[in-house]
Chain A
Amino acid sequence: MIKLFLISLLITTMYADDVKLASSIFNTIVSSITHKKNAAVYLYYDIESVSRYPDKLQVVKDCSIADVVLLSSIKDIPKECESEILFGTRYSHLKNKNVIGAFFWQKGRPNILFYRDRLAKHHIKLDKSFDKYIENE
Chain B
Amino acid sequence: MDRSLRTNKSFILLAIIIPSMTLVSFFIYGEFVQSNKHVFNIIKKQLMHDKTELFKNYSNHIVENHGQNIQEKICTNKIFAKKLEQELQLIQGDEIKYLYLLYKDSDGKFRYLLDTTKDAEEKSYIKQKFDPQSDIWEQAYKTKTVQTIEQEGLQTLWVSMAYPIVVDERVVAVIGADFIYSVYDKIENTLKPMEKLFYYIAIFMIIMLGIAYSLVYMYYITRKKSFIDPLTRIYNRQYLFEFLDNHSLQDYYLMMIDLDNFKLVNDNYGHDAGDEVLINVVAEIKSNIRQKDILIRFGGEEFIVLVNKKEVHNILKVAQRIRKAVSQLSIHTQNNIIKITLSIGINPFPYMSNNIEEAIKIADEQLYIAKSSGRNRVEVYNSDDKYESQTSKRISDIQEAIDNNRVRCAFQPIYSNANQEELKYEVLLRLLDKNSKPIPPDSFLPFIKNTQVYISLTRYVIDTAINAMKENNFNLAINLDLQDILNDDIMHLLKHRFENVPELASRMTIEILEHEEIQDFKLIQSKLKLLKTMGFSIALDDFGSGYANFAYLINLDIDILKIDGTIIRDLDKNESAYSVVKTICSFAKDMNMKTVAEQIETKEELEAVQELGVDYLQGYYLGRPEFEFRDPFLR
A interface residue numbers (CB < 8 A to B): 14, 18, 90-92, 106-113, 132-133, 135
How far in angstroms is the closest Cβ of chain A from B205? 23
Q: B157 to chain A: which residues have CB within 8 Å?
A: 107-108
Q: B125 to chain A: which residues have CB within 8 Å?
A: 91
Q: Is the CB of A108 within 8 A of B178?
A: yes
B100-142 with Cβ < 8 A to chain A: 100, 109, 117, 121-122, 124-125, 128-129, 131, 133
Does B156 count as interface, using CB distance less than 8 angstroms?
yes
Does B554 count as interface, using CB distance less than 8 angstroms?
no
Known: A107-B178, A108-B155, A108-B178. A113 touches B129 (CB 8 A): yes
Q: A92 to chain B: which residues have CB within 8 Å?
A: 121
Q: B117 to chain A: which residues have CB within 8 Å?
A: 107
When the two chains form the complex, which single residue of A109, A112, A133, A135 contacts B154, counting CB atoms closer than 8 Å? A109
Task: List 6 tightest A-B contacts by C-beta distance, closest first.
Answer: A108-B154, A107-B98, A108-B157, A111-B131, A108-B156, A109-B133
When the two chains form the complex, which single residue of B122, B151, B155, B156 contacts A106, counting CB atoms closer than 8 Å? B122
Known: A107-B117, A107-B178. A18 touches B109 (CB 8 A): no
Give Cα A109 to B124, complex, Å: 12
Interface of B is mostly: loop
Q: Which of A92, A106, A111, A112 has the most CB of B within 10 A?
A: A106
B175-193 with Cβ < 8 A to chain A: 178
Q: Is the CB of A135 within 8 A of B129?
A: yes
Q: Which residue of B lies closest to A108 (CB)?
A: B154
How far in angstroms is the closest Cβ of chain A from B58? 19
Give Cα A92 to B124, complex, Å: 10
Q: B98 to chain A: which residues have CB within 8 Å?
A: 107-108
How far in angstroms is the closest Cβ of chain A from B47? 19
Give Cα A112 to B121, complex, Å: 15
Q: Is the CB of A107 within 8 A of B109?
A: no
Give Cα A90 to B119, complex, Å: 13
Q: B97 to chain A: which residues have CB within 8 Å?
A: 107-108
Give Cα A42 to B154, complex, Å: 29
Give Cα A92 to B99, complex, Å: 21
Contact with A along B145-182 (1 / 0, CB 8 A): 00000010011110000000000000000000010000
Give Cα A135 to B105, complex, Å: 12
When the two chains form the complex, which single residue of A14, A91, A113 contacts B155, counting CB atoms closer than 8 Å? A14
Q: Is the CB of A109 within 8 A of B131?
A: yes
Give Cα A110 to B132, complex, Å: 9
How far in angstroms is the closest Cβ of chain B from A103? 10
Give Cα A22 to B371, complex, Å: 93
Q: B128 to chain A: which residues have CB within 8 Å?
A: 91
Give Cα A92 to B154, complex, Å: 22
Q: Is the CB of A107 within 8 A of B133?
A: no
Known: A14-B155, A111-B129, A113-B129. A106 touches B178 (CB 8 A): no
Q: Which of B97, B121, B156 has the most CB of A within 10 A?
A: B121
Extra contacts besides A106-B121, A111-B129, A132-B109 (10): CB < 8 Å: A92-B121, A107-B117, A107-B122, A108-B97, A108-B98, A108-B151, A108-B178, A109-B133, A109-B154, A110-B131
Q: B109 to chain A: which residues have CB within 8 Å?
A: 132
Q: Which residue of A lies closest to B127 (CB)?
A: A135
Q: Which residue of A lies closest to B178 (CB)?
A: A107
Q: Which of A91, A109, A135 has the most CB of B within 10 A?
A: A109
How far in angstroms is the closest Cβ of chain B from A100? 15
Q: Which of A14, A90, A91 has the most CB of B within 10 A?
A: A91
How far in angstroms is the closest Cβ of chain B from A119? 15
Q: B122 to chain A: which residues have CB within 8 Å?
A: 106-107
Give Cα A92 to B120, complex, Å: 10
Q: A14 to chain B: which residues have CB within 8 Å?
A: 155
Q: B121 to chain A: which residues have CB within 8 Å?
A: 90-92, 106
Contact with A along B565-576 (1 / 0, CB 8 A): 000000000000
Give Cα A133 to B131, complex, Å: 8
Contact with A along B74-111 (1 / 0, CB 8 A): 00000000000000000000000110100000000100
15 sampled A-B residue pairs with Cβ under 8 A? A91-B125, A92-B121, A106-B121, A106-B122, A106-B124, A107-B98, A107-B117, A107-B178, A108-B98, A108-B156, A108-B157, A109-B133, A110-B131, A133-B129, A133-B131
Q: A107 to chain B: which residues have CB within 8 Å?
A: 97-98, 100, 117, 122, 124, 157, 178
Q: A108 to chain B: which residues have CB within 8 Å?
A: 97-98, 151, 154-157, 178
Q: A106 to chain B: which residues have CB within 8 Å?
A: 121-122, 124
Give Cα A18 to B125, complex, Å: 25
Q: Which residue of B lies closest to A109 (CB)?
A: B133
Q: Which of A14, A90, A132 has the most CB of B within 10 A?
A: A132
Q: Which residue of B lies closest to A131 (CB)?
A: B107
How far in angstroms is the closest Cβ of chain A from B220? 34
Give Cα A81 to B332, complex, Å: 95
Give Cα A92 to B125, complex, Å: 11
Q: Is the CB of A18 within 8 A of B155?
A: yes
Give Cα A109 to B156, complex, Å: 10
Q: A112 to chain B: which residues have CB within 8 Å?
A: 131
Give Cα A106 to B157, complex, Å: 12
How far in angstroms is the closest Cβ of chain B from A90? 7
Q: Which residue of B lies closest to A113 (CB)?
A: B129
Q: B133 to chain A: which residues have CB within 8 Å?
A: 109
Give Cα A99 to B477, complex, Å: 137
Q: A132 to chain B: which residues have CB within 8 Å?
A: 109
Q: Which of B131, B151, B156 has the most CB of A within 10 A?
A: B131
Give Cα A86 to B124, complex, Å: 22
How far in angstroms is the closest Cβ of chain A from B130? 8
Q: B178 to chain A: which residues have CB within 8 Å?
A: 107-108
Give Cα A116 to B69, complex, Å: 29
How far in angstroms is the closest Cβ of chain B from A110? 7
Give Cα A135 to B97, complex, Å: 27
Give Cα A135 to B112, complex, Å: 14
How far in angstroms is the closest Cβ of chain A from B85? 15
